Amino acid sequence: MPQSRRDHLMTVARDLFMEHGFHGTGIDRILGEAGVSKKTLYTHFRSKDELILAVLKDHDGSFRNHFMRQVEQASSDPRGRLMAVFDVAEAWFETPSFFGCVFINAVGEYSKADTPIRSACRDFKMQMTDFIVRLAKDAGAADYTNLGNQLSLLLEGAIVTAQVTNRELAIESARSAAEILIDKALSA
């Protein structure tokens, strides 16, 4: 089934935002690559910020659901699922479309704390952390909230390190630190 014009516009915009940034991607470039007119854009979105917010919300659902599904399918063992967070991240880092986390990148470009864009980014990060906390609880960690927060922080650090410097080092370091934290938390 072909995408609607709105969905096509959002897909093109998302790809451009991820690769070139939000401020680095102008409306004319989005329109040119999507093959749509300004009228079409403004029929669906009142502004570039509204387009960005729609892209972030759409990407939140698709990325988060895909990531969680991959983690849950990676292992039936609760401890294995905690480690799978880093395996799934590694697979993501190795894709040609990896330009870091679009939500981290958006926060870097939109500094005001009380904007809808920042709120969408915060909501995504909180839901990802909640997922990891739930995995820690399922694994039987006594202080599952602390373990989940620690593993979430490792994941965030790995994402930024993979984007900025060294993908292999990022995941290897995060994975070995995660293993230590998980072993300690589950043996307590």
- The pLDDT assigned to 2 comes to 64
Name which CATH class applies to 5-187. Answer: mainly alpha
- The pLDDT assigned to 26 comes to 95
- The pLDDT assigned to 188 comes to 74
Q: Are 148 and 132 in contact (CB under 8 A)?
A: yes
pTM reported for the whole predicted model: 0.92
Q: What is the mean pLDDT of each run of 10 residues along the chain (188 residues)?
A: 83 95 95 93 93 95 95 96 97 93 94 91 96 98 97 97 91 96 93
